[in-house]
Amino acid sequence: METIGLYVHVPYCVSKCPYCDFYSLPAGEEGMDRYTQAVIRALKDNPFGPRNADTLYFGGGTPILLGARRLGAILEAASSQYGLSSGSEITLEANPYSTLQGTLRELKAAGFNRVSFGLQSAIPSQLKILGRRHTAEDARTAVEDAFRAGFQNVSLDLMLGIPQQTAEDVETSIQFCADTGVQHISAYLLKIEPGTPFAARYREEDFDPDLQADIYLRAVDRLESLGYRQYEISNFARPGFESRHNLKYWLLEPYLGVGPSAHSCLDGRRFYFPRDVESFSAAPSPFSLAVDDGPGGSLEEYLMLRLRLTQGVSLREAQIRYPQFDPAGFIRRARPLEAGGFLWATEEGFALTPQGFLVSNEVIARLILSESTNCN
């Protein structure tokens, strides 16, 4: 029986950040109760047959707003149905202002063992620009509370390229994160999403690409110097604390997503739930709402996702997994990019350099040109 990852999308937030285009809405007790029961129905009644899972990730939204009782009930259902054990990675996203030490203790007792806090910046003016409600000290307290509650795997998220941000600001925020003792740090470049308040407020020319590049490269250097090893474009960890769940996405391993807007890749197909919590919560069989999104697991997708990882692409593995893969053609396309400093050769293939990560979409597009045949 294959082992999968589970994802639960919790669509509730206290307020929506101006840069965010994830599906979210205000929290209400009655609505959260209906939603919780629908998630449990979906986990128990999925039409894909028995599966074992070794990761469960609650994303959002702000999942911790559900409270320990509802989150514990979902975890219990997932554990019963998918064989989650004490060795499984069970992650919860939380915002620092929404965290209470008592709730964290209850969640740890229920089986959660990893928590990820959305700090974004330790600079007050940048938190204000982002519309965040917490302070850096709120984040420090949240991390301390998590450690006191028994969590030994804690992550902080940072945002790079915030308007008016300097490379020195980023280094200050990184040092703040390291000083809290967290084991994992994510550092994402801000992307202006269509339809968000940020899209109306800022234009592309408001962001200096040279400054963005300097911010990213200095962030990578600083994180590495503090012992956080880069393993993906935007993710850094102490050895052994990489996100096991997120690695499933990049390694093209199967995962099942539950909740409005959640996506899945299972049995060679992709599908998703519509962005409608009311329909999801009211459905006797939530998977009846799932929308087919075509085949998953193509060679093109495999190469694209593997190149997000610092380990890069293994030519031998690609050829074993996809008999149609042409390693000689891939090498021909890779050599000019290697000479330009965007790729480096590994023992098994090629990987993006930090400079390559900065323009990863363009580099990957050149590498996977003509590699578009599905594996199914």
Q: In tens digits, what is the pLDDT along the chain, a chain of 376 residues? A: 679 999 999 999 887 888 888 888 888 899 999 999 999 999 999 898 889 999 999 999 899 999 999 999 999 999 999 999 889 999 999 999 877 778 999 999 999 999 999 999 999 999 999 999 999 999 999 999 999 999 999 999 999 999 999 999 999 999 999 999 999 999 999 988 888 888 888 877 778 889 999 999 999 999 999 999 999 999 999 999 999 999 999 999 999 999 999 999 999 999 999 999 999 999 999 999 999 999 998 999 999 999 999 999 999 999 999 999 999 999 999 999 999 999 999 989 999 999 999 999 999 999 987 554 443 3
> Can you tell me the distance from the alpha carbon of 189 to that of 215, in angstroms, rounded to the nearest whole number?
9
- Same fold for the pair 3-249 and 299-367: no
> Can you tell me the distance from the alpha carbon of 160 to that of 240, in angstroms, rounded to the nearest whole number?
25
Given a contact cutoff of 8 angstroms between Cβ atoms, the answer to whether 162 and 19 are in contact is: no
> Can you tell me the distance from the alpha carbon of 112 to that of 63, in angstroms, rounded to the nearest whole number?
12
> Can you tell me the distance from the alpha carbon of 253 to that of 7, in angstroms, rounded to the nearest whole number?
13
Q: What's the token pair of residue 165?
A: 């941000």
- Biggest CA pair distance of the chain: 59
What is the predicted pLDDT for the residue at 25?
80
Tens-digit pLDDT profile for residues 240-297: 999 999 999 999 999 999 999 999 999 999 999 999 999 999 999 999 999 999 999 8
What is the predicted pLDDT for the residue at 371?
54
Q: Which fold has domain 3-249?
A: TIM Barrel (3.20.20)
- Give which of 123, 226, 240 is closest to 178, Cα–Cα: 226
| Segment (H or E) for 177 | helix 167-180
What is the predicted pLDDT for the residue at 175?
99
Q: Among the CATH numbers 1.10.10.920, 3.40.50.620, 3.40.50.2020, 3.40.50.2000, which is that of 299-367?
A: 1.10.10.920
What is the predicted pLDDT for the residue at 17?
83
> Can you tell me the distance from the alpha carbon of 351 to that of 356, in angstroms, rounded to the nearest whole number?
9
Q: What's the token pair of residue 322?
A: 């996809």
| Helix intervals (H) in 45-166 | 67-82, 101-110, 124-129, 136-148
Place of tokens 């702000």: 62
Given a contact cutoff of 8 angstroms between Cβ atoms, the answer to whether 259 and 39 are in contact is: yes
What is the predicted pLDDT for the residue at 121?
97
Q: Where are the domains of the chain?
A: 3-249, 299-367
Alpha-carbon distances, residue 279 vs 32, 115, 136, 284 (angstroms):
13, 29, 38, 10
Place of tokens 């950040």: 17
Tens-digit pLDDT profile for residues 93-109: 999 987 777 899 999 99
Q: In degrees to the nearest 10, what's the CA dihedral of 87, 242, 162, 344?
A: -160
